[in-house]
Amino acid sequence: MMRLDKYLKVSRLIKRRTVAKEIADKGRISINGKVAKSSTDVKIGDELTLLFGNKTLVVKVTDMRETTKKDEAENMYEVVSDTNK
């Protein structure tokens, strides 16, 4: 398991941990349908929904790593849907 803000940074879904924390604490990220805080634990199999302004990204967690290289970061999740409103 890993904190939500750290997972978002390591997987490069969000570039900075501080930004990930801010977005999560504003209630714009949910795990398996429940609004999550930055300290919420993420585990393999969880489905994350991220709201970026008018874009909604839904990803499924497929891997956990403490660190990762840029080209391997995409292997940590699988995009379920990516919609613009």
What's the mean pLDDT when you consider all of the chain? 95
Q: What is the pLDDT of residues 67-81, one digit of tens each?
A: 999 999 999 999 999
β-pairing verdict for 2-3 and 41-42? antiparallel
Nearest residue to 31 via CA among 18, 14, 15, 50: 50
How many distinct structural domains can be found in the chain? Answer: 1
Predicted local confidence at residue 15, as pLDDT: 93
Predicted local confidence at residue 84, as pLDDT: 85
Q: Token pair of 4, please?
A: 């939500």
Taking a C-beta distance cutoff of 8 angstroms, is the pair 4, 41 a contact? yes
The full DSSP string for 4-37 is: HHHHHHHTTSSS-HHHHHHHHHTT-EEETTEE--
pLDDT at 64 over 80: yes
Average pLDDT over residues 52-81: 94
* Domain ranges, residue 28: 2-84
pTM: 0.92
User: Domain of 47: which CATH number?
Assistant: 3.10.290.10
